[in-house]
Every structure is written in C-alpha cells, then in structure tokens.
Amino acid sequence: MQSFAMSFMNTLASISLPSLVQTLAVIAGAVLVGAGLSTMSSVYLASRSHSLETAREQIKEKVNQNRNPNARLLFHYTDSEINADSIMATGEIWEGPASGPFPRGAYATDIAGWLPVELMRRSQLVERIFGRNTPTSYAKTAWFVVFEEILPKYRFNRIAPSIYWYPGDAKIKPIAKSSNLLGE
C-alpha cells in the first residue's frame, strides 16, 4: 500500500503545475457541461410540455367557440398541413382506398388530437386507427381537422371502436385544424 502511495506521489510530482491545472480545468468543465446539459434538457422538456398544454387549450377553446354543442365532433387525421388546409377550404373529406378490413370511403375518429399524454399517446392513436404502428401510418396522423357532420345526408357510421366511415366523398363542416398535439 505504501509503495502505491509513493508511486502516486511521484507521478503527481512529475506533472508540471500548469499541466495539472489544465487537466483539472478540463475535468471540471466536463462536469459543468454535463450538469448544464442535464438542466437544459429538463428545462426544454418542461417548456415543451407547457407549450403543448397551451396549444391544447387554444385549439379546444377555438373549437368550443365555433361548434354546435348538439353536434357530434369527429376528427380526420392527415399527413400534412396542406391536406388539412384543403379539407378546411373545401369542407370535404375525399374517399380513400380500402385498408385491411375497412372499405373505401372517408374516415374519421372520435379521438381528439389534443388529449393529454396520460389519456392517449400518438402511438396508441395510430394503433387504434390503423391496427399497427408503422412509420407510414404514424406519418398519416401528423395533422387533424375537427369537424361536424352535415346531417342527415353525410352521417358517418361507426364501424369499429373509435372508427367512423362514410361511403364516398363526405361533405363536412370544418371547425378547426391543428398539428397533432398528442404526446409521442
């Protein structure tokens, strides 16, 4: 044990003072950077969470101001803002191809895109709508349009839990659009 202590002391004695200070400064800097990054990460996650909460409240408020309280709200998910804008402008959801057990038609769900992560994650939404979570199906839920049905002609039929279908192009009353606000 004494020989190790002597060896360690000899090694320290052989290091010049400027080199020792520089080495300690690098170590201290690495510790500070690590702590700083950890803090920044926590701050980012907290601010993202707060901004998501704010965005959720804003879209819900907009929907509640513009909706008929007696009408059923449905949500059509799409892969881009351009498609969401098109639906908002035309008031129409175009018929899509058949998928799995579901026929061609216009599709919607009753799952709101602003639910908090404790109730629904985006990956769970994708599983529920598409039956599997793939990059392609995940991308198809990037944006949503909240709408009311135009009754009685364009009533969406519930064909599975949380899945609504209309046979063909569907006229709708668009209320609002947003990027998906579900937690990942």
Q: Please check the confidence at residue 113 and state whether its pLDDT lies above 80.
A: yes
Across 93-116, b (16+ Cβ under 10 Å) vs e yields: beeeeeeeebeebbbbbebbbbbe
* Total-model pTM: 0.73
Contact at 8 Å (CB) between 41 and 160?
A: no
Q: Please check the confidence at residue 31 and state whether its pLDDT lies above 60.
A: no
Give the number of other Cβ atoms within 10 Å of residue 171's Cβ.
15
